[in-house]
Amino acid sequence: MDNQMVEFPPKPLNRELYLIGFRMDPSAEGPQFYTLIGDEGESERPITKGGRLLLFHRPMDGLKALMASDNGFSDVRPVPSELELLCDISGALYVANAENADAEGVLFELIAVLDDLLRAVKMNVPAEYVTVLSAVAERLAENPEFASLLEKRKLSREKLEDALMWCVGAVAVKSSWVG
């Protein structure tokens, strides 16, 4: 018999919230909309209600969005007002189309956040897009240069752009606005 002691009382989870901003318009100075990501130590997920992501236009609407959520974070405080991460969608698309390297990590960050958002709403990315996104993310985790990978694997920049746009569109249609 395996004699593993169960700790009692269990250690409380260290739960935190992070404010994530998104910029779609390249002429915008900063984020155009936001969501909150909850962290429970070993897992991170965005706030949702009824299986839909909750988005809002102003950081001050974070509490309202959090109170509307139903996936286990509505009681976590404090609600952050400072941006943890800016997902620069327009910047990442530019990098995917015109740069050989993701020097500032905008493409890598966008792929990672889109992955978290799509998992939260149980959306499956089409296989042809998973192939390019996985390959690029894997490469960027080790090295900011990705153009040679695309060339080596015969993956086009257009396919990478299509994959990113599909993910952004899927996130949009599986979201609800608060505020």
Cis geometry, peptide bond prior to residue 10 (ω within 30 degrees of 0): no
> Is 90 within 8 Å of 27 (Cβ atoms)?
no
Q: Is the pLDDT of residue 11 over 90?
A: no
- Summarised one tens digit per residue, pLDDT across range 101-110 is 999 999 999 9
- Assign 14 a pLDDT band (cuts: 50, 70, 90): confident
Q: What is the mean pLDDT of residues 49-78?
A: 96
Q: What is the mean pLDDT of residues 106-116?
A: 97
- Assign 70 a pLDDT band (cuts: 50, 70, 90): very high
Q: Would you kindly state where each structural domain of the chain is located, as residue ranges?
A: 16-172
Rounded to two decimals, the pTM is 0.90
Give me the percent of the chain exceeding a pLDDT of 90.
Answer: 88
Q: Is the pLDDT of residue 164 over 70?
A: yes
